[in-house]
Amino acid sequence: MKAMIIKELRLIGKDRRSFIFLLLMPIIFIVMFGSVFNQTDGSSITLRTIDQDQSAASKALIGQMQSIMDVKQLPADNLNEQLDKIKQGQFSSMLVIPSGFENSMKEGQAANIKLYQDPASQTETAPIQAILGSISSQYREQKLTTMLMANGESKAQAEAALASPIHIENVSASADHFNMIDQVVPGMTVMFVFFIMITMARRFFEEKKTGLLSRIRTTRIKPLHYLIGMWFPFVLTVIAQCMILFAFGHLVYGLRLGDIAALSAVVLCLSIAGTGIGLGLSFLVPGEGAAMVITQIISMGGAMLGGLWVPSYLLPQTVQTVGHFLPQFWAQHSLQDIIAHGAHLSDIWGSALILLTFGLAGLTIALIRLPGFLRSAAN
């Protein structure tokens, strides 16, 4: 068995295609997603504004908005041109403070401001509407305070009267801060772990096709030792793959790795799951082509449904439910628990056990199919 393991590790080491699939591709994806989401983290919401009033009140409103979001002021005389740009989809919304804004406020009338928006980009403009709603409420509170004080209430009494009966306190559930890199690095790692199945299927079919498997059967290597000798190097390969990708995330993006013992346990179980399924697949499918197609379906479909591309809670409820039947979900779930929520071994053992079950199911299929596979190689 030792001879099998050493030989297989040497072959994997010389396989450039596997290097591309298992390491280069995930690193490219991490860099790509990492760049996109890192920019998003640092930026604020942008609102284009045309101030047609050019008054102290309009400038005060803009100043207040600037403290919350990025306000880009546009020349007051080209409203139509800017509206055309919204229609063309160049940006999604624009706020216009019309002439007479200050006068309306002074006269105690409703001072209208207009938020033009692209109906196709409601998700994008929703936060802007919420912010503007909040600013509007602040103005209303200010007005009511002034009125109460005019009626003889003290400022403290007026503020107490306007205070909300509900106070929402933001408390972070974990000690660590969650950012998109915490999603991307484990997500891409888990997704590309399952690409090992292509390499595994290719190796088994090569052994069969070239007659090497038949020749090995004339030696003293027993069928079970052959199976384990072929499988174990792939477990080691996936462990190395995960180590390199997490180290890359840590060194380049400052990814926090959390409890290393827990992380190692999940990586071990993930490698058993990925390679176990790969083993079962190699012994089930009729040829290398079928293995390629099924691997892509398992890897990409599992990534989408298991919450590797976007957090699972953002997916529709049905998809979330389906995701619970996939190893990718449990791998990502437990990895994020360790990385973002400070989970330890005692917190992730359930997910780890589910991953092991997937791996053992694949191994069982391989063991059942092994005699048939050996017979087909001989003929």
Partner 1 sequence: MMAQVMINPQDTYTHAAPNNDYMLEVNELKKTYAKKQALENVTFSLKPGTSFGFLGPNGAGKSTTMKILTGIVKADSGSAKLFGKDVTREPDAVSKFIGYVPQDITLYEKLSAYDNLEFFGEAYGVSGKELKQRIHDVLTRTGLLERSKDIVSTFSGGMKRRINIAAALLHRPKLLILDEPTVGIDPQSRNHIFELIRELNREGVTIIYSTHYMEEVEALCDEVAIMDQGSIKAMGPLGDLLEQYGQNSIYLEVPGLTELPQDPDVTSFRKEGSGWLLETERSAAVMQRLLRQASQHAWDVKQLEVVRPSLESVFLKVTGTALRD
Cα gap 200→196, rounded to integer Å: 6
Complex with partner 1: residue 11 or 243, whichever CB lies closer:
11
* 104/214 with CB nearer partner 1: 214
Tell me whether residue 32 or residue 378 sits nearer to partner 1 (CB atom): 378
Pairing of β 70-74 and β 114-117: unpaired
β-pair type (46-51, 70-74): parallel
Minimal distance in Å, beta carbon 199 to partner 1? 13
> Are the beta carbons of 65 and 94 closer than 8 angstroms?
no
In Å, how far are 29, 33, 241, 267, 344 from 184, measured between CA atoms? 9, 7, 15, 16, 21
**What is the distance between the alpha carbons of residues 229 and 220, in angstroms, rounded to a whole number?**
13
Please check whether residue 267 is in contact with residue 353, taking contact to mean a CB–CB distance below 8 angstroms.
Answer: no
Nearer to partner 1, 6 or 247 (CB): 6
Least distance from partner 1 to the Cβ atom of residue 207, Å: 9
Q: How many helices (H) and strands (E) does the chain have?
A: 18, 4
Nearest approach, Cβ of residue 372 and partner 1 (Å):
13
Residue 206 beta carbon to partner 1: minimum distance, rounded to whole angstroms = 9
Nearer to partner 1, 229 or 274 (CB): 229
Shortest separation between residue 239's beta carbon and partner 1, angstroms: 22
Q: Closest CB to partner 1 among 6 and 24?
A: 6
| DSSP states along 102-141 | HHHHHTTS----EEEE-GGGHHHHHHHHHHHHHHHHHHHH
Residue 311 has phi, psi (to 5 degrees) of -55, 140
Residue closer to partner 1 by CB (options 2, 167) is: 2
Min dist CB 15 to partner 1, Å, is 8
Query: Which residues of the shown chain bind partner 1 in the complex (CB under 8 A)?
Result: 2-4, 6-7, 10-11, 14-15, 210-212, 214-221, 378-379
Distance CA 274, CA 265 (A): 14
Q: Which two tokens stand for residue 32?
A: 């790509």
- Please report how close the Cβ of residue 308 comes to partner 1 at its closest, in angstroms: 32
Helix axes 260-284, 223-253, angle to 10 degrees: 140
- Please report how close the Cβ of residue 262 comes to partner 1 at its closest, in angstroms: 37
Q: Of 118 and 207, which has the nearer Cβ to partner 1?
A: 207
